[in-house]
Amino acid sequence: MHLGNYLGLLDNSEKQITKAFAQVSRHHKDEPDIEQMCQKLSAWSREHRGKLVPYLQRYSTQQSTEPARLKHELFSAARSGSLGLIRDLHDLWLLTQEVQLSWAVIQQAALALRDEELKATCAFCSARTKRQTDWLLGRIKQAAPQALVVAD
Amino acid sequence: MSETRNAIQDIWGPRTPYHGTWPLRENERVTATPDHWVQSACVLCSNGCGLDIGVKDGRIVGVRGRAEDRINHGRLGPKGLHGWEANHSSDRLTKPLIRRNGQLEEVSWEEAMRLIVERSQELIRQHTASAIGFYTSGQLFIEEYYTLGVLGKAGLGTPHMDGNTRLCTATAGAALKISFGTDGQPGSYNDLNTTEAVLLVGHNMASQQTVLWTRILDRLAGPNPPQLVVIDPRRTYTAEKATVHLAPRAGTNLAVLNGLINLLIEADQIDHEFIKAHTVGFAELRQTVEKWTPERVEHLTGVPADKLLAAARILGNSKTLVSTALQGVYQSMQATAAAVQINNIHLIRGLIGTPGNAILQMNGQPTSQNTRECGADGDLPGFRNWDNPDHMEELARLWNVHPDKIPHWAPPTHAMQIWRYCETGSIKLLWIQATNPAVSMPELARIRRILQQKDLLVVVQDAFLTETAKLADVVLPTAIWGEKTGTFTNTDRTVHISYQAINPPGEARADFDIFLDYARRMDFRDKDGQPLIKWSTPEEAFEAWKACSKGRPCDYSGLSYEKLTGGSGIQWPCNEQHPDGAEHLYTDHQFNTHADYCETYGYDLVTGAEKQPEEYKANDPKGKAIILAADYEPPHEEPDAEYPLWFTTGRVVYHFHTRTKTGRARALQEAAPEGFVQLSAEDAARHGIADGDLVTVESRRGKVTEPARIGDIEPGLVFIPFHYGYWDHDEHDKRAANELTLTEWDPISKQPHFKYAAVRIRKA
Ligand code: SF4
């Protein structure tokens, strides 16, 4: 069974997105809404990781041997300027997709295992991940015309 | 000189207990006997009291309340009785100014307009119209806003149009849209005549709308007085009259409101049938509020549990309820979420759309309702939905332009973002009208810096050389109230006409004429090559606006200048169905939430993300009201070791905004000549401060020094009125409250958070 591996992958993705939101928050603190919302959304992802802990323990014995392959760097460093902001939000949006898909995969496993608790966790976290995605998309749409067409 | 009372000393006038009709009380103040009177209404707050302007020899010599007006029945407050003096102030602007070699120099209109037009055209060529932004006001007339809306949206096609209404009523609009589908106050001031209870949240009505407050005072003096619940951290004039006064810590409104709703649900003082038949979302509300027990609320907010229970008992036992909210809600943490909870109280109790029941999500300024309605701010004209292609088509047809001309690719840019784009340099022309951001915006040092940025052309349209105008590159002198004709709408949807009574001074022009001149010079055309703006008089503009509003909630189609002349103001909707206006919206409990009619597809109450159309349509509420709820979140800046006190801002009874007018009315100015730092006796003692001592208040963003006023405030909180700036005060001696405030805003309404910051104090 590979559920443990996938939980590890998800945990890693939530860790990266937690970090990335925090980085973007710090880096773009001149955009007050970005600073505050990214802080909040980072906290959400951190909370998701917390919720994963019991399942990582529950299913850890079943980890297969090659988790490293399932890890990859998704976000390196924040950029500057109005275009940089869009690219950062763009990357964050992609990261939420990675997370969202992982939750969907885990949810399928939870269904097959009849693990009610894990199912509820998946429902909660994937709904919140969607809210992260929605906010990112809205903010990108707002910023894009000005950054791409008008800004020097 | 004659006056019916000294309104400076006797702010609300003598009591005339309410027994079912409003006894006549015609307040008047004139400095000479007028040779004629001209119909108007007061523009010094959102109440919109009907008045006549007294004119003698081409000058305003006084005002009198209009006895026949439904808003004030002849009554006027101190600002209304005195504010008109500003019209004749000797420092009115009379000629356009252009900055040359660092100095503002008088020029002709031709020169000033040519400069603006040439720069506009050059920017459009190089960067598109998105390099141009407008920051308008809550002080202009319908005709002016609508003209501005059309020229900006369909002429230039810039998404960057907003106003100082973002600082004042954006949350009112957002909350109404979220709960009921569109903007529009469900009730009327007349509901105060019969209601059993009034809930005032963050709304110091006694100081802000003094005449509206007299309704409550007269009810309190009559039979069956209503019970008052007041939520305000300070012991204001309003709070003094409360049956129950809750004084929560800064930034905790939502926790208090969640606590109140929890108690209503627990006591089962809710209307199950109404909830089932006319709302969606109740289960989520219940789940959100259930943990807010009185003990928990007390712990977080400092509101004693027994007081919360007493307040909930009033709200739960009254068969009718009027609730009002203002800046204490709108300019604080979780503004929209808290304002929506006030709507929810009415929805779960089924108290809406019937006499005695009203939600007044108050406006601050006299005409800010119209900024929202006419499309001069971040909303589309007629409460249309920018995300609904049919609504955009409607506008495009009406204006005879291609739909893509009208920016609708994202929500219109809100004011805080407009300023940010100026700061980062992508907006290169900022056109400010009838507002004074150099005193009224948060974090003033930043605003001053932006206004002086080298590559930003700042145009200021004003009647006075305000703190903002002093930093402008072009200043256009304007006619003000009494010097031009137009209409405007107060908080309870009452439309008034205000006629020109006198000529403006010197070369000053109406904002309306300035907009028309710009549109003509820019040669804005429709699809058929005809001039885009087809009107040249205010009355023609009003007719155009009527056509735009027809069929929308704010339907003006049944109104006309003629109908508005002679009698009382009239409420919208005014159309075939409601020829004399309507006191209540939603009398059949059908709300404006249908997917094809609503103004918004909704928001995430926490992140502010806009919901997608498909999502909304999949669960079309089809006329049911929407109950949304959010949990409490702590403010982003809280007192700490370095800055140990809470800071908040507010108003005094004698002034309006940055005192541009009230500071030039002698008696108002003398009644409140300077700002102050209000602090508790405990905090004063700790710092060795006595009443009247100069106190320096410092935040992470700046510091100000003002005299101390001790008492009537919770320990740990410091208050400074926001009216005082520098036009009559040394600008190096900082005193404006907004030197200290934060640059941040509500995620949904985008209204800035003026009501909390962390500060430290010391004796100066
Ligand atoms: S209550 Fe408002 S509108 Fe009425 S007189 Fe006073 S300032 Fe003017």
Domain spans of chain B, in order of start: 2-88, 97-168+373-483+506-537, 170-362, 645-741
Cβ A135–B159 below 8 Å, yes or no? Answer: no
Q: Does B636 contact A36 at a Cβ distance shorter than 8 Å?
A: yes
pLDDT > 50? residue A67: no
pLDDT at B579 over 60: yes
Contact criterion met (CB < 8 Å) for B745 and A33: yes
- Identify the three-state secondary structure at position B156: helix
pLDDT > 70 in chain B, percent: 100
- Condensed to tens digits (0 to 9), the pLDDT of residues B154-211 reads 999 999 999 999 998 899 999 999 999 999 999 999 999 999 999 999 999 999 999 9
Q: Is B682 exposed, middle or buried (0-12, 13-18, 19+ CB in 10 A)?
A: exposed
Average pLDDT over residues A24-50: 94
- Ligand 1 centroid from CA B238, angstroms: 16
Kindly state whether B446 is in contact with chain A, defined as any CB-CB distance less than 8 angstroms.
no
Residue A68 pLDDT more than 60?
Answer: no
| Per-residue pLDDT band at A62 (split at 50, 70, 90) | low
Contact residues on chain B for A141, CB-CB shorter than 8 A: 409-410
Touching B: A residues 123-142, CB under 8 Å:
131-132, 134-135, 137-138, 141-142
Count of C-beta atoms within a 10 Å radius of residue B692 = 11
Q: What is the mean pLDDT of residues B19-39?
A: 92
- Specify the pLDDT at position B410: 84
Q: Hey, what CATH class is B97-168+373-483+506-537 in?
A: alpha beta
Residue B267's pLDDT is what? 97
- Chain B positions touching A29 (Cβ under 8 A) are none
Query: Can you tell me the distance from the alpha carbon of B219 to that of B193, in angstroms, rounded to the nearest whole number?
Result: 7
Q: Which of B123, B336, B424, B601 best tests the A interface by mutation, with the highest count of A CBs <10 A?
A: B424
The three state secondary structure string of B88-101 is: HCCCECCCCEEEEC
Give the chain A residue nearest B636 (alpha carbons). Answer: A36
So what's the pLDDT on residue B531? Answer: 97
- Angstroms from A19 CA to nearest CA on chain B: 19
pLDDT bucket at A80, cuts 50 / 70 / 90: confident
Residue B609 and residue B138: Cα distance in Å, rounded? 27
pLDDT of residue B168: 87
Instruction: Give B-chain residues touching A131 at CB under 8 angstroms.
Output: 604, 606-607, 609
Kind and range of the H or E run holding A51 = helix A32-58
What is the Cα–Cα distance from B393 to B396, expressed in whole angstroms? 5
d(CA B703, CA B714): 22
Q: How far is CA A6 from each of CA A9, A63, A100, B310, rounded to the nearest angstrom?
A: 5, 9, 13, 53
With a 6 Å cutoff on the Cβ, whether B736 touches ligand 1 is no
CB contact under 8 A, A138 and B420: no
Question: According to the model, what pLDDT value does residue B618 have?
Answer: 93
Angle in degrees, CA B747, B748, B754, rounded to 5: 65
Q: What is the reported pLDDT for B250? A: 86
Return the half-sphere exposure (C-beta side, CA atoms, 13 A cut-off) of residue B162. 24
The DSSP annotation for B399-445 comes to: HTS-GGGS--SSSPPPHHHHHHHHHHTS--EEEEES--HHHHSSSHH
CATH topology of domain A3-150: Ferritin (1.20.1260)
State yes or no: pLDDT of A69 exceeds 50. no
pTM listed for this prediction: 0.95
| DSSP-derived 3-state class of residue B749 | coil
Mean pLDDT of B455-466: 97
Residue B104: CB atoms within 10 A of its CB come to 18
pLDDT tens-digit profile of B522-571?
Answer: 999 999 999 999 999 999 999 999 999 999 999 999 999 999 999 999 99
Q: What is the pLDDT of residues B298-338, one digit of tens each?
A: 999 999 999 999 999 999 999 999 999 999 899 888 999 99
Report residue A73's pLDDT band, with 50, 70 and 90 as the boundaries: low
Question: Looking at the complex, does the CB of residue A50 fall below 8 Å from at least one CB of chain B?
Answer: no
Residue-wise pLDDT for A120-150, tens only, equals: 999 999 999 999 999 999 999 999 999 999 8
Cβ distance A33 to B744 less than 8 Å, yes or no, reads: yes
Question: What does the buried/exposed string (b/e) look like for A26-38 if buried means 16 or more CB atoms within 10 Å of the residue's CB?
Answer: ebbeebbbbbbbb
pLDDT tens readout for residues B90-128: 999 999 999 999 999 999 999 999 999 999 999 999 999
Q: Give A35-41 contacts, CB < 8 A, sequence gap 24+.
A: A36/B636, A36/B744, A37/A135, A37/A139, A37/B607, A37/B608, A37/B747, A38/A92, A40/B606, A40/B607, A40/B633, A41/A132, A41/A135, A41/B607
Give the whole-angstrom CA distance, residue B239 versus residue B189: 20
**In this complex, do A141 and B128 lie within 8 Å of one another by their Cβ atoms?**
no
Average pLDDT over residues B514-521: 98
Does B42 sit in the ligand 1 pocket, CB within 6 Å?
A: yes
Segment 124-163 of chain B within 8 Å of chain A by CB: 127-128, 130-131, 159
Residues B695 and B764 sit within 8 Å (Cβ to Cβ): yes
| Averaged pLDDT of chain B | 95
**Listed residue (B305, B289, B221, B212) closest to B255, CA to CA:** B289
- pLDDT of B295 reads 97
CATH class of B2-88: mainly beta
Cα–Cα distance between B338 and B699 in angstroms, integer? Answer: 26
**Residues B372 and B183 sit within 8 Å (Cβ to Cβ):** yes
Position B22 scores a pLDDT of 84
**Substitution candidate for ligand 1 out of B49, B72, B360, B481 with most atoms within 8 A of CB:** B49
Q: Residue A79: what pLDDT?
A: 82
Q: Tell me which residue has tokens 């660092």.
A: B102
Q: State the average pLDDT over residues A55-82.
A: 68
- Smallest CA-to-CA distance from B594 within B388, B432, B428, B340 is with B388
Tell me which amino acid residue B690 is: A
Would you place residue A74 in the very low, low, confident or very high pLDDT band (cuts 50, 70, 90)?
Answer: low
The CA dihedral of B343, B349, B355, B360, to the nearest 10 degrees, is -20
**Is A148 within 8 Å of chain B by CB?**
no
Residue of B nearest to A38 (CA): B607
Distance of CA B7 to the CA centre of its chain: 24
Residue B719 has pLDDT above 90, yes or no: yes
Give the DSSP per-residue string, B258-312: HHHHHHHHHTT-S-HHHHHHHEE-HHHHHHHHTT--HHHHHHHH---HHHHHHHH
Spell out which residues of chain A touch residue B417, defining contact as CB-CB under 8 Å: 142
Alpha-carbon dihedral B396, B400, B404, B405, rounded to 10 degrees: -110
The ipTM value here is 0.90
B336 vs B179, B288, B327, B763, CA distance in Å?
11, 16, 11, 37
What pLDDT does residue A70 have? Answer: 47
Q: What is the pLDDT of residues A84-127, one digit of tens each?
A: 999 999 999 999 999 999 999 999 999 999 999 999 999 999 99
> How close are the terminal C-alpha atoms of chain A, in Å?
53
Q: Where are the domains of chain A?
A: 3-150
Structural class in CATH, domain B170-362:
alpha beta
Architecture of domain B645-741: Beta Barrel (2.40)
Q: Residues 288 to 347 of B: which have CB under 8 A from any A CB?
A: none
- Partners of A135 on chain B (C-beta within 8 Å) are 604, 607-609
The alpha-carbon gap from A22 to the nearest alpha carbon of chain B, in Å, equals: 15
> CA nearest B156: which of B465, B412, B523, B600?
B523
**Confidence (pLDDT) at A64:** 55
